Amino acid sequence: MANKPRVAIFDFTGCEGCELNQLNFEDQLLDILAHVDIVEWREAMDGQADEYDIAFVEGSLSTPDCIERIHKVRRKAKVLVALGACAVQGGVNGMKNTRPIEEVREEVYGEDKYLFPTLPALPLSAVVKVDYNVRGCPMTQIEFLKVFTSLVMGKEPVEATQSVCVECKLKENECVYEKGMICLGPVTRGGCDAHCTSFGQYCTGCRGLVPEPNLKGMEEILISHGLSVDEAWKRLQLYNAVELEKVRT
């Protein structure tokens, strides 16, 4: 295949689980590699490229070095895709933002805290232009394949805006609240095909909030099922602390 898109994959502050999930495609991996040239990927190869058509970026931004690096990636990439909850909305790393930054540095690094400059955790979109998202923790494989296929074919990827609850109803799943679980599906963006709830697990909100979420209604549901106000907000903050900062301040 001539003129295959040049792809680079990067990681910032995160567990690198989204990158590992890419290697778990198994049956699809050879097809993926047949349609692109991987020109930079620290986990799998040496060397750096001067430019790339598509950059897939995992992890949040939490240090001055992260800010410098993401600007370099953005300048070299024609298209930048945020990969996973940390990159898209700050993810679990955003919990750091709920406490004073100096307190966090002291607790993590102790007397060596001055050797490790740190910033509040940020999603990629807070610093550079992000063209498309692949959500989830780790990133949802079915969504990655849709975005990847669209980009390779020169089409515009479409991001889901409906809640996980909508996808649950389409699959005729029994609501996990009826099983005594606490679920964030009503305010969590779908696109995962209700993966967790279809296997009897509750939604933890890893895919971020739907556009214009009814947080007050969600809070009332959580409280009516036995949580305190603080416990309800801690559930909501697990993956969405950065987004909720804007709402609560």
Instruction: Supply the pTM of this predicted model.
Output: 0.93
Residue 28's pLDDT band (boundaries 50, 70, 90)? Answer: confident
Give which of 113, 85, 84, 112 is closest to 100, Cα–Cα: 113
pLDDT of residue 1: 43
Which has the minimum average pLDDT: 39-48, 85-94, 178-187, 204-213? Answer: 39-48
Cis peptide before 64, with omega less than 30 degrees from 0?
A: no
Domain boundaries along the sequence of the chain: 6-152, 164-248
**DSSP at 3:** T
CATH fold, domain 6-152, is Rossmann fold (3.40.50)
